[in-house]
């Protein structure tokens, strides 16, 4: 005859084992659901509605130019161009609004977007492109805005900053105080140009000033192409001496007076009054989570592998 106490202990053990198996199954199911959710998040496209796939009927296409304009960034030239092509090709999109909140960035990426807007405007001459500056469209942000048919601002928006800058640091005096010797081998007399651990050479400074002047001239030419006779320029004055091309930043109100903008407006008011299509559809293209992770992983690997071998010199950028 089985001892009642032993029987109770055995039953309790069986019950506990059953409970543990159930919890194991629940945990596995939850893990599977989490895995499926992560997979969906990784491979789904980021925010942005893709034209005819989301709406039927007349609407205004909105494309965001936000943050720093840079490759593989929030305002990447390739992704913005993809959004532009989609908006221009969609028949129901009666016009395009560039919603700009950018302090600038890469002159290459800004130039790519500017050129693509100009190309698509020629291919679709009946589709207007309006730029609406919310907080700021400075430097590279204004470079892109200049490609639009018209630019609208808020009274307190910041626009302009038509110039080029280059940032770097020098550590030569600190190294002397710490007793650190810089050992650098190069092939090519200018390979170490602007190395922050070496004294600057006047000839290298002149080279970089010439380079920045060339990029500045390209920027000025783009703005003149886009704004034309609306710019308030002094007759006979060289471009590099003109106030609007000095790198100064202006409020929206002052920008209108100088011909850098056409009037006051918002995305909604421009869609309603200028494009005549009040319905807004966001065509902005954002990278998927997988693409962002790949970009960050790739950048980290590049820094790890090449960081010590890479030149520390700065590069020109269009920044506020």
Q: Which CATH number do you get for residue 266?
A: 3.90.226.10
Confidence of residue 303 (pLDDT cuts 50, 70, 90): very low
Q: Tell me: the pLDDT tens digits for 93-103? A: 999 999 999 99
In a domain, 60, yes or no: yes
**Helix, strand, coil proportions of the chain in percent (round to 5)?**
50, 15, 35
pLDDT of residue 216: 93
Strands (E), 34-86: 59-66
Residues 137 and 242: their CA atoms lie apart, in Å, by 19
Confidence of residue 113 (pLDDT cuts 50, 70, 90): very high
Residues 202 and 318: their CA atoms lie apart, in Å, by 23
- With H, G, I as helix, E, B as strand and everything else as coil, classify residue 104: strand
In a domain, 45, yes or no: no
| Nearest Cα to Cα of residue 55 among 221, 284, 283, 249 | 283
Q: Which of 5-14, 108-117, 292-301 has the highest mean pLDDT?
A: 108-117
Residues 12 and 15: their CA atoms lie apart, in Å, by 5
Strands 318-319 and 93-102: unpaired
Confidence of residue 1 (pLDDT cuts 50, 70, 90): low
pLDDT of residue 318: 58
For residue 109, what are the contacts with CB-CB under 8 A and spacing of at least 6? 69, 70, 71, 75, 76, 77, 140
Q: What is the mean pLDDT of residues 13-26?
A: 71
pLDDT of residue 279: 95
In a domain, 30, yes or no: no
Q: What is the mean pLDDT of residues 4-8?
A: 63
Q: Tell me: the pLDDT tens digits for 268-294? A: 999 999 999 999 999 998 755 544 444
Residue percentage of the chain with pLDDT more than 90: 50
Q: What is the mean pLDDT of residues 175-187?
A: 83
In a domain, 135, yes or no: yes
Residue 30 vs residue 6, higher pLDDT? 30
Phi, psi of 221 (to 5 degrees): -65, -40
Residue 307 has pLDDT above 50, yes or no: no
In a domain, 35, yes or no: no
Residue appearing with tokens 């893990």: 31
User: Half-sphere exposure (CA, 13 Å, Cβ side) for 250?
Assistant: 19
CA 217 to chain centre: 23
In a domain, 38, yes or no: no
Do residues 91 and 132 make contact, with C-beta atoms less than 8 angstroms apart? no
pLDDT of residue 296: 47
Q: Determine the Cα angle at 295 with ends 136 and 318, to 5°.
A: 30
For the chain, the first-to-last Cα distance in angstroms comes to 90
pLDDT of residue 7: 63
Q: Phi-psi region for residue 228, left (φ > 0), alpha (ψ -120 to 50) or beta?
A: left
pTM recorded for the entire structure: 0.74
Strands (E), the chain: 59-66, 93-102, 104-105, 129-138, 150-153, 158-160, 249-251, 263-264, 280-282, 318-319
Residue 302 has pLDDT above 60, yes or no: no
Least confident of 54-63, 194-203, 303-312: 303-312
Do residues 108 and 144 make contact, with C-beta atoms less than 8 angstroms apart? no
pLDDT of residue 305: 40
Q: Tell me: the pLDDT tens digits for 118-130? A: 999 999 999 999 9
**Residue span of the structural domain in which 147 resides:** 51-319
pLDDT of residue 150: 97
pLDDT of residue 173: 81
Residue appearing with tokens 């909604």: 268
CA 285 to chain centre: 11
Q: What is the mean pLDDT of residues 11-25?
A: 71
List 60's β-bridge partners, or say none: 95, 280
In a domain, 138, yes or no: yes
For residue 6, with 0-12 CB atoms within 10 Å meaning exposed, 13-18 middle and 19 or more buried, which class applies?
exposed
pLDDT of residue 269: 97
Q: Tell me: the pLDDT tens digits for 190-248? A: 888 878 888 888 888 888 899 889 999 999 999 999 999 999 988 888 887 888 999 99
Number of domains in the chain: 1
Count of residues making up the chain: 320
In a domain, 62, yes or no: yes
Residue 315 has pLDDT above 60, yes or no: no
């Amino acid at each position: 005859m089985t001892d009642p106490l032993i029987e109770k202990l055995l039953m309790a053990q069986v019950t506990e084992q059953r409970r543990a198996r159930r919890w194991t199954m629940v945990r596995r199911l939850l893990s599977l659901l989490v895995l499926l959710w992560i997979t969906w998040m990784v491979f789904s496209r980021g925010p942005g509605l893709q034209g005819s796939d989301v709406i039927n009927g007349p609407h205004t296409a909105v494309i965001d130019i936000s943050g720093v304009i840079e490759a593989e960034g929030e305002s990447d030239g390739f992704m913005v161009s993809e959004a532009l092509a989609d908006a221009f090709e969609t028949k129901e999109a009666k016009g395009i609004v560039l919603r700009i909140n950018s302090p600038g960035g890469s002159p290459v990426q800004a130039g790519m977007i500017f050129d693509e807007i100009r190309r698509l405007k020629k291919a679709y001459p009946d589709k207007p492109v309006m730029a609406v500056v919310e907080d700021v469209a400075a430097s590279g942000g204004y470079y892109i805005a200049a490609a639009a048919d018209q630019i609208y601002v808020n009274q307190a928006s910041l626009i302009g900053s038509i110039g080029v800058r280059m940032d770097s640091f020098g550590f030569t005096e600190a190294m002397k105080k710490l007793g650190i010797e810089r050992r650098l081998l190069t092939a090519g007399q200018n390979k170490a140009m602007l190395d922050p651990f070496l004294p600057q050479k006047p000839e290298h400074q002149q080279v970089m000033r010439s380079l920045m002047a060339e990029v500045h001239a390209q920027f000025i030419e783009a703005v003149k192409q886009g704004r034309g006779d609306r710019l308030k320029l002094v007759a006979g004055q060289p471009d590099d001496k003109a106030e609007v091309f000095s790198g100064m930043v202006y409020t929206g109100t002052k920008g209108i007076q100088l011909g850098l903008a056409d009037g006051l407006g918002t995305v909604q008011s421009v869609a309603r009054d200028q494009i005549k299509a009040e319905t807004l559809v966001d065509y902005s293209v954002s990278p998927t989570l997988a693409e962002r992770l790949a970009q960050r992983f790739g950048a980290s690997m590049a820094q790890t592998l090449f960081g010590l071998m890479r030149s520390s010199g700065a590069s020109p950028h269009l920044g506020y």
